[in-house]
Amino acid sequence: MQLLLDLHPDAYPLSGYRRKQLLEWVFVHGVGEFSAMSNLPAGVRAELEAEYALNPFKLVETFRSTDGSVKYLFTLPDNRQMEAVYMPYLDRKTICVSTMVGCPAKCAFCATGALGFGRNLTAGEVVGQILAVARGEGLSPRDLRNLVFMGMGEPLLNYDATILAARILLHQDALGMSKRRVTLSTVGLPKGIRKLALEDDLGIKLAISLHAPDEETRQRIIPTGHANSILEIMASAREYQQVTGRRVTFEYAMLRGVNDSVWQAELLADLLRGLVSHVNLIPMNPWEGSGFEESTEQEMQAFYNVLEARGVEVSVRRSRGRDAGAACGQLALKQPGAVQAAAGA
């Protein structure tokens, strides 16, 4: 059965005010069933129900962190599992969505990478995470105003579905999110970054997971990164910045004794010279068996100071949801049989 959420809002069934009503039920009221759409005639509801699925997930479990973040674990129709994270802040509500089950990028410090690749999510399965989390939190989907593509998976390797999902969430008739509040995070794929800038200029923010300024270190922690040199990544970042006018964010997970030396901070500052950018230092979130440790506060501060002294815009991003397994790179289905579930076995 076709998932309704896989459709672009312009392609929704029904027309005129019936279409508006349907879109409102889905994206404003966030209902999970056609039967709840009380102002649609029973016959129309029955037809929709015969042709379309509305909610692609079963909610398995939520994990609540003491900082208010909530990790949602879902089962997909083919029994695979994946996760989304809700992060309430004082001034905004943010959702972190997955674009894949598992991930092929295999970053050495990332727990999702250790799961391997399951499959791509469809656009509707990406958008569905917003609706399901809103339902779980008793909110309208439109209350979730900030979105980051930073969950499981590499969005630029599931390009078409990610772009369609972004178009749906920006569309006025759907979620009506502001492009300034949507961030796509990528492991750093120059072709995809260029395509995003030149062919699908959605105006959304771009974050690049650089994590090291030198090839040797980067290839050690991002083994699939050898296909794209740091210089190519930087060139595509410059192009994205020039075409979109947006400041590019660079993510940098601080791994103790691996990428946190002063010389690496100096090299990073050199790479960023002349680029309107921002560096996010993220204390690495340790997980059992990763083989990496987070840098100490002093090491982070020293690294920060070097960047700041060289005029780099830099901040430290404290991950939320660490105690609920919901922090950056911790999404790894902390469940018995997780790897099999990711693989749909």
Pick between residue 14 and residue 108 the one whose CB is nearest to ligand SAH. Answer: 108
Helix 123-137 × helix 159-170 angle, to 10°: 50
The active-site residue out of 47, 83, 125, 288 is: 83
Measured CA to CA in angstroms, residue 173 lies from 27, 73, 176 at distances of: 8, 28, 7
Which residue's CB is nearer to ligand SAH, number 150 or number 234? Answer: 150
Binding mask 169-208 for ligand SAH (x = CB under 6 A): ----------------xxx---------------------
Is there binding between residue 307 and ligand SAH (CB under 6 A)?
no
150 near ligand SAH, rule: CB under 6 A:
yes
**Per CB under 6 A, 329 contacts ligand SAH:** yes
189 φ/ψ sector (left φ>0, alpha ψ -120 to 50, else beta): beta
CB-nearer residue toward ligand SAH: 26 or 300: 300
Query: Among residues 235, 240, 158, 148, which one has the least CA distance to residue 193?
Result: 240
Q: Does 253 bind ligand SAH (CB under 6 A)?
A: yes
Amino acid (1-letter code) at residue 281? L
Q: Is 96 a catalytic residue?
A: no
CA distance 23 to 31: 10
Rounded to a whole number of angstroms, the minimum distance from the CB of residue 251 to ligand SAH is: 4
- Residue 127: count other Cβ atoms within 10 Å of its Cβ: 29
Cα–Cα distance for residue pair 264/163, rounded to 1 Å: 34
- Cβ 108 to ligand SAH shortest distance, Å: 9
- Report CA Rg, the chain: 20
Stretch near ligand SAH under the rule CB under 6 A, chosen from 58-66, 164-172, 278-286, 333-341: 278-286
Mark the segment that binds ligand SAH (CB under 6 A) among 120-128, 134-142, 282-290, 335-343. 282-290
> From the CB of 149, what's the least distance to ligand SAH, in Å?
6
Nearest of 208, 230, 215, 212 to residue 278 by alpha carbon? 208
The DSSP H or E segment spanning 100 is strand 100-102
Residues in region 71-110 near ligand SAH by CB under 6 A = 105, 107, 109-110
- Find the shortest distance in angstroms from Cβ 176 to ligand SAH: 24
Q: Which residues contact 50 (CB under 8 A, 6 or more apart)?
A: none
- Quote the DSSP letter at residue 295: P
Q: Could you give the count of Cα atoms lying within 13 Å of 199 in the half-sphere of its Cβ?
A: 9
Which one of the listed residues 96, 107, 110, 328 is annotated catalytic?
A: 328
We find the least distance from the C-beta atom of residue 285 to ligand SAH, in angstroms, to be: 4
Residue with smallest beta-carbon separation from ligand SAH: 329
328 has catalytic annotation: yes
Which stretches of the chain bind ligand SAH, using CB under 6 A?
105, 107, 109-110, 150, 154, 185-187, 209, 251, 253, 282, 284-285, 328-329
Residues designated as active site: 83, 328
